A and B are shown apart, each in its own frame.
Chain A
Amino acid sequence: MKKLNISYEKRKGLYGYGFIAIWFIGAIFFFIIPIVKSFIYSFNIVTPEDSRLSQVWAGIENYKSIFLVDPKYRQYLVQVLRDTAIQTPIILVFSLFVAIVINQEFRGRAFARSVFFLPVIIATGPVYAIITGDIETSGSASAAQFTTMFSTDMVDELLEFIGVYGLSDKFTEFMSEATGDILNLVWKCGIQIIVFLAALQGIPPSAKEVASIEGATAWEFFWKVTLSYVSPMILVNFVYTIIDTFTDPSNPVMGRIHDIQSGWEYGKAAAMAWSYFAVVLVIVGVIFALMNKIIYYDD
C-alpha cells in the first residue's frame, strides 16, 4: 500500500482538527447557530406558532421598548452594575487575604481549607437561595442573633471604637452594604480563593529566601513580592468575578429576562440578553486593557 506523503507537521495539524472536531460539531449546533439566531431574534418580533417561531422584522423596536418602555429593565440593570462595582473589589481583597492565611502553616489547616472550599460545592444551587433566605427572613431566634452580629450597628460601633465619628451617611451606607452580608461575601469567594492559593504556591522559594535575607517585614513582602507574583491571577479573578456576578441566575436582570422569556416574548428577551451582554463585554474589556498594563509576568 502506498503511504500518503504528508509532512509530520501537517499530519500533526490534521490530528489537531481531529481532537477538536467533536467539540466543534457540538458548538455549531449548541452555540454558534443559537447565538446567531438569538441575535436575529433581537431585531424581530417573535411569536411561537405550531411548529416553528414566526419572525417579523422590527428593526431596533425591541431595544427601544426595553430601554424606554419596560418599567423595570433599566432599573435592574443599574442595580446589577452598582452591586457588581461594590462587590468585586471586596471579593478580590477578601479572597486574596483568605488565600494568604490558609497558605500558611498552622494546626488545623487541612480542616480550614476543606471548609473554605465548601461554598464552591453548595453556593451555585437553590440550596444557597434557601440558606440565605432563611437567614434574612426566618426570624428564628438563632438566625436573628446571627444577622445582627453583622448589621450596621456593628460597623458603626466598631468605627466609634476606633475613634471615627460623624462619617457621612453615604460612607456608612457603603460600609453597611459592604459588611452587612459577610455571609454572602464568604460564600461567593470559593473559586477565587482556590485560584489565589494556586498562585501563591507558585511563588518561587528563592524569592522568599532573598526577601528574608534582606530583612523584609511580612508587610513589605506582601506589597513587593506576593502582590506582583499574584497579579496575573488578580486579573483572572477580576474577570471571573464579574462574569460570575453578571451571569448569576439569581440576579434581577437574569430573572427579568427569564420572566419575559416565559411570557413567550422571545424577541424582547433576546434584545435584553444582548444589550446586557454588550454592557458586560465592554466592562470586561476596559478592565482587561487597564489591568494588563500593571501586571507582572515572570517570564
Chain B
Amino acid sequence: MASEAYKNNNAVSGLLNKIKPKKQEKEPKRSRKEEKARFKKRLENLTPAEQKYLKRKRAFDKGWPILRALIVFGLCFVILYPLLYMVSAAFRPQAEMNDPTIIWLPRSFTMSNINDAIRAMDFWNTLKRTLFINIGCSVVQVVTCALTGYGFARFNFKGKTAFFLVVVLMILVPSQIILIPQYAFFRYFNPLGIYHLITGNYINLIDTPLTMYMPAITANGIRAGLFIFLFRQSFRGLPKELEDAAALDGCNPLRTFTQVMVPNAGSTFLTVFLFSIVWYWNDYYVSTSFFTKNSTIALELKNLSTTLKIVIFGNADTAVTVRELIVWMESGCLISILPLLVLYAALQKYFTEGIARSGLTGM
C-alpha cells in the first residue's frame, strides 16, 4: 500500500516536472516601435479601467529602476562624502587646504599630517589600551548577555516579569542618571563591604580598566539591556524541540546552551559582538566619567584639537581655528576609525545578511 502511494506520488511529481516549462526562452529583441505597437494591440480588447491599470504599471516598471538608481546613488554619495573628504584631507598638505582649485585630489601627497596626529594622540599606546578594554569587554559582555538572554527566553521562574522589567529599564534609563553613583562606587571601592572596616581605606579604581570590565563581566556594560533583549528574542525564535531532544539525551541546561543553542544563534552572536565593539570603541560619555586621562581612542579624539595645538604649536592656547587644524583633525579621525572599518569590511557579509535572522523581527 505504502509503496504504491509512494510510486503514485513519484509519478505525479514526474508529471509535474514534465509540465513545467524547461526554461523560458528569451524573447527576441524588438525595436521600440514594435514594442509600442504590441502594447497597443494588447490594450485593444480591454476595458478602459484595465487599460489604465496596464498603462500605469508599464510606466512604473520602466521609470522606477531609473529613479531608484538615482536615489541609491545620491544617498550612497551623502554617506560616503565625509569619508572620501576625510581621506582627501588627511593626505593633503595644509597649504593646499585653501586652494579653491583643489576639490578632491591634492597636488602632492603627504604623510606628515598622519604622523602628527599619531604623535598627538600617542596613537599606538592608546590603541593598545583601547583594544584591551574594547575587545575584552565586548567578548565577556556578549557571553554574559547571551546567558542572561537565554535564561529569560526559555525558563519559567517566579518573578521573571519583574526581573525582565529591570532589563527594559536598563534600555530606557539614560546613562547619566546612574553615572554619579557608579563613579562613587568605583572611587571608593569597598570589596565585600568589609575592606574599609579592616584597613580604614578605600580602593580607588578610577582610571583603571576595571571600571569598564566589572560592568561588562556582569552583563551591565554599555547598552547591555539592548543586547540581553536581542538574545532573548533570538533564543525564543529557535525551535523548542532542539532542547527537548538534548534534555532527553541527558544534557543539563548549561550543556544544552553551549552545545545546541549557541551554534544555532551564530548570527546573533556576531551582530551583538559587532555592535558591542562599535559602542565601546565610540563611547566617550561613560568613559569621561571614569578616566581622567585620555585613555581611549574616543577620548583622545574628543580632545584632539587641544592636544594637536600642543604638539604642533607647542601651546594649548594658540589661537588657531578648527578650520586651520582640519587636515590634522581628519587624519586623526581616519586612523581612529580605520580599525572599525577594517572589521566591518571583514564582517559585513555576515552582518548585512545575518541581521534578518538575528531575532529582531520577533520583538
Rounded to whole Å, the gap between the CB of B61 and the closest CB of chain A is 9
Rounded to whole Å, the gap between the CB of A57 and the closest CB of chain B is 18
Tell me what chain B mostly uses at the interface: helix, strand, loop, or mixed.
helix
Cα distance, A249 to B287, chains bound together (Å) = 12
Cα distance, A31 to B182, chains bound together (Å) = 8
* B363→A233 contact, CB < 8 A: yes
Asked whether any CB of chain A lies closer than 8 Å to the CB of B312, the reply is no
Known: A18-B254, A23-B228. 10 other contacts (CB 8 A): A19-B148, A19-B150, A19-B155, A23-B220, A27-B170, A30-B182, A114-B352, A116-B75, A125-B284, A134-B330
Asked whether any CB of chain B lies closer than 8 Å to the CB of A56, the reply is no
Interface size in chain A (residues, C-beta < 8 A):
101
Taking CB atoms, residues of chain A closer than 8 Å to B82 are 131-132, 134-135, 183
Interface of chain A residues 115 through 136 with chain B (CB within 8 A): 115-122, 124-127, 130-135
Cα distance, A108 to B68, chains bound together (Å) = 12
Q: Which of A12, A131, A197 contacts B156 (CB 8 A)?
A: A12
Q: Which 6 A-B pairs have the closest CB atoms?
A: A26-B218, A16-B155, A19-B151, A125-B282, A34-B181, A34-B178
Interface of chain B residues 215 through 233 with chain A (CB within 8 A): 215, 217-220, 224, 228
Given the interface contacts A27-B166, A198-B358, does A120 sit within 8 Å of B180 by beta carbon? no
7 A-B Cβ contacts within 8 A?
Answer: A22-B144, A24-B166, A114-B352, A125-B298, A126-B284, A270-B177, A273-B174
Asked whether any CB of chain B lies closer than 8 Å to the CB of A159, the reply is no
> Which residue on A lies nearest to B143, using beta carbons?
A22
Asked whether any CB of chain B lies closer than 8 Å to the CB of A292, the reply is no
Cα distance, A143 to B322, chains bound together (Å) = 14
* A125→B281 contact, CB < 8 A: yes
> Which residue on A lies nearest to B285, using beta carbons?
A249
Contact with A along B288-316 (1 / 0, CB 8 A): 10000000001001101000000000000
Interface of chain B residues 144 through 183 with chain A (CB within 8 A): 144-145, 147-148, 150-152, 154-158, 160, 163, 166, 169-182
Q: Which of A38, A117, A118 contacts B177 (CB 8 A)?
A: A38
Contact with B along A221-264 (1 / 0, CB 8 A): 00000000000110010000001001101000010011001000
Asked whether any CB of chain A lies closer than 8 Å to the CB of B278, the reply is yes
Query: B-contacting residues of A (Cβ < 8 Å)?
Result: 9, 12-20, 22-27, 29-35, 37-38, 41, 51-53, 98, 101-102, 104, 106, 108, 110-122, 124-127, 130-135, 137-143, 146, 182-183, 186-187, 194-195, 197-199, 201-202, 215, 217-218, 232-233, 236, 243, 246-247, 249, 254, 257-258, 261, 266, 269-270, 273-274, 276-277, 280-281, 284
Taking CB atoms, residues of chain A closer than 8 Å to B166 are 24, 27, 31-32
* A247→B68 contact, CB < 8 A: no
> Which residue on A lies nearest to B201, using beta carbons?
A51
Asked whether any CB of chain A lies closer than 8 Å to the CB of B202, the reply is yes
Taking CB atoms, residues of chain B closer than 8 Å to A194 are 355, 360
* B60→A217 contact, CB < 8 A: yes
Q: Which of B68, B86, B215, B228 contacts A101 (CB 8 A)?
A: B68
Tell me what chain A mostly uses at the interface: helix, strand, loop, or mixed.
helix
Contact with A along B339-363 (1 / 0, CB 8 A): 0110010001001100110101101
Cα distance, A110 to B351, chains bound together (Å) = 11
Asked whether any CB of chain A lies closer than 8 Å to the CB of B184, the reply is yes
Cα distance, A130 to B230, chains bound together (Å) = 31
Taking CB atoms, residues of chain B closer than 8 Å to A118 are 79-80, 83, 344
Rounded to whole Å, the gap between the CB of A268 and the closest CB of chain B is 11
* B148→A20 contact, CB < 8 A: yes
Rounded to whole Å, the gap between the CB of B165 and the closest CB of chain A is 11
Asked whether any CB of chain A lies closer than 8 Å to the CB of B199, the reply is no
Cα distance, A20 to B156, chains bound together (Å) = 12
Rounded to whole Å, the gap between the CB of B51 and the closest CB of chain A is 13
* B156→A13 contact, CB < 8 A: yes
